[in-house]
Amino acid sequence: MKRSLVQSILLYGCALLLAAFTAGPLLWLAVMSISAPTDLTEVPLHWIPSQVDFSRYANLLSLEGGNGERFLMALRNSLLTAGGATAAALLLAIPAAYAFSRRQASIVLLFAFLATIMMPPITYVLPLYSTFSSLGLLNHTVTLIIVYTAMLLPFATWLMKANIDVLPVEVEQAAFMEGAGTAYTIRQVVLPLALPAIAATAMLSFLVAWDEFFYALIFTNDLSAKTLPVAIADFSAGRVTDYGVIASVGVLATLPPAILAIAFQKFIVSGLVAGSVKG
């Protein structure tokens, strides 16, 4: 189909608008992070920094200063927590999803799973706090991993179930005919076919865990377990006159999930859609 000139202008206009809307706030965050503090309190603002200043990044990425240590430890904790919770959630969700999809586990149970995430998360904070404290597990990365795993499980299970639903049953049946066990079949037959779905589920789960704030705020006490969102709240609550510091922490905290998202974008799409055609 050939486009008319008007259509072309319209199309490129929309594309430009979309690009500006999406990139604008991100670009501004990046600009803030390298602007001199005085540039950021101009009225009206100068959009181009009068001098480029990377010192905040140097500060945040060096273990020497207090800020750097705080940031790098939080980054490590966040990677461990989000990564660990994602892995654990998938490990539990896949067999469960298989049971729902192929072993006629009741759909009511699946809705019960989902009901647990409809509750405002605040309600779980206090009972979990006393449970973990009696186990001596407060302020541990592993505690957050356990909590996040439970938080991620319902949606991960649902998404994986929807994806397994649309896989051809015949291949599995053939495997069973040849005497393969269920565990073997899931590993050797189902998993390879469901790889895009797993990648999509992992990506979604990782982001939710990477994002979580309130549990981390209440359950962690020091550098050994505080995650990035908590560190960011600390940075922006303390005596920070320089918005640039907050902006540079924001940019750095966005990078890991952004890299993952771009790297896995193909999977995210096919995983989310292939599974959900049948809902």
Partner 1 sequence: MLGRRQKREKWILLAPALAVLALITLIPLANTLWLSFTDTRISALPEPVHFIGLENYVYALTDPDFQDALFRTLYFTIVSVGLEGVLGVAVAVLLNQEFRGRTLLRALIILPWAVPTIVNAVAWRLIYHPDYGALNSLLFQLGIISDYRSWIGDPATAMNMVVLADVWKNFPLVAYVALAALQTVPEDLSKAAAIEGAGPWKRFCSITLPWIAGPLMVVMVLRTIEAFRVFDIIYVMTGGGPADSTKTASFYVYQEYFNYLRSGSGASYAVLVAGISAVLIVFYYSATKRQTAGGAA
Partner 2 sequence: MNTFGKMILGSAFATLAMSTTALADTTLNALFMSQAAYSEEDIESMTAKFEEANPGVTVALEFVPYEALHDKIIAAAGAGDDGYDVVLFDVIWPAEFATRGFLQDVTDRIPADYTDKVFDGAWTTVEYDGKRYGMPWILDTKYLFYNTEMLEEAGISAPPKTWTELAEQARQIKDKGIVEYPLVWSWSQSEAMICDFTTLTAAYDGAFFKDGEPAFTTGGAKDAVTFMKATLDEGLTNPSSREYFEEDVRRVFSNGEAAFALNWTYMNALANDPEESKVAGKVKVAPAPGVKGKSTASSVNGSMGLGIPANSPHADEAWAYISFLTQQNVQDDYAKLSLPIWKASYSEPKVMEGQEDLIAAAKESIAVMYPRPLVPSYTEVSDILQKNIHQVLLGQASVDEALDAAANRVKRIR
Residues 166-205 touching partner 2, rule: CB under 8 A, are: none
Rounded Cα gap, residues 251 and 195, in angstroms: 30
CB of 277 to partner 1, least distance (A): 6
With contacts defined by CB under 8 A, name the span among 72-80, 110-118, 121-129, 254-262 that binds partner 2: 121-129
Choice between 72 and 233, CB closer to partner 2 = 233
With contacts defined by CB under 8 A, name the span among 59-67, 122-130, 167-175, 187-195 that binds partner 1: 122-130
Which of 7, 41, 106, 173 touches partner 2 by CB under 8 A? 41
Rounded Cα gap, residues 274 and 269, in angstroms: 8
With contacts defined by CB under 8 A, name the span among 34-42, 53-61, 68-76, 187-195 that binds partner 1: 34-42
Q: How many CB atoms lie within 10 A of CB 4?
A: 8
Residue whose C-alpha is closest to residue 190's, from 208, 207, 169: 169
Angle, CA of 32, 205 and 134, to the nearest 5°: 100
Choice between 82 and 88, CB closer to partner 2 = 88
Return the one option of partner 2, partner 1, none that residue 140 interacts with (CB less than 5 to 8 A, by type): partner 2
With contacts defined by CB under 8 A, name the span among 52-60, 67-75, 187-195, 202-210 that binds partner 1: 202-210
Rounded Cα gap, residues 43 and 26, in angstroms: 21
At 57, list the tokens: 């990044």
Q: Is 142 in the site for partner 2 (CB under 8 A)?
A: yes
Choice between 187 and 266, CB closer to partner 2 = 187
CB of 129 to partner 2, least distance (A): 5
At 67, list the tokens: 């800020």
Rounded Cα gap, residues 94 and 201, in angstroms: 10
Considering only residues 48 to 67 of the shown chain, the ones binding partner 1 according to CB under 8 A are none
Residue whose C-alpha is closest to residue 137's, from 33, 48, 246, 220: 220
Considering only residues 212 to 251 of the shown chain, the ones binding partner 2 according to CB under 8 A are 217-218, 221-222, 233-234, 237-239, 241
Rounded Cα gap, residues 147 and 216, in angstroms: 10
DSSP structure class, residue 224: T
Return the one option of partner 1, partner 2, none that residue 234 interacts with (CB less than 5 to 8 A, by type): partner 2
Return the one option of partner 2, partner 1, none that residue 40 interacts with (CB less than 5 to 8 A, by type): partner 1
Single-letter amino acid, residue 163: N
Rounded Cα gap, residues 88 and 96, in angstroms: 13
Q: Is 107 in the site for partner 1 (CB under 8 A)?
A: no
Q: Is 207 in the site for partner 2 (CB under 8 A)?
A: no
String of DSSP letters for 134-180: HTT-TT-HHHHHHHHHHHHHHHHHHHHHHHHHTS-HHHHHHHHHTT-
Integer-rounded Cα radius of gyration of the chain: 23
Choice between 36 and 117, CB closer to partner 1 = 117
Q: Which residues bind partner 2 (CB under 8 A)?
A: 41, 88, 91-92, 125-126, 129-130, 133-138, 140, 142, 146, 217-218, 221-222, 233-234, 237-239, 241
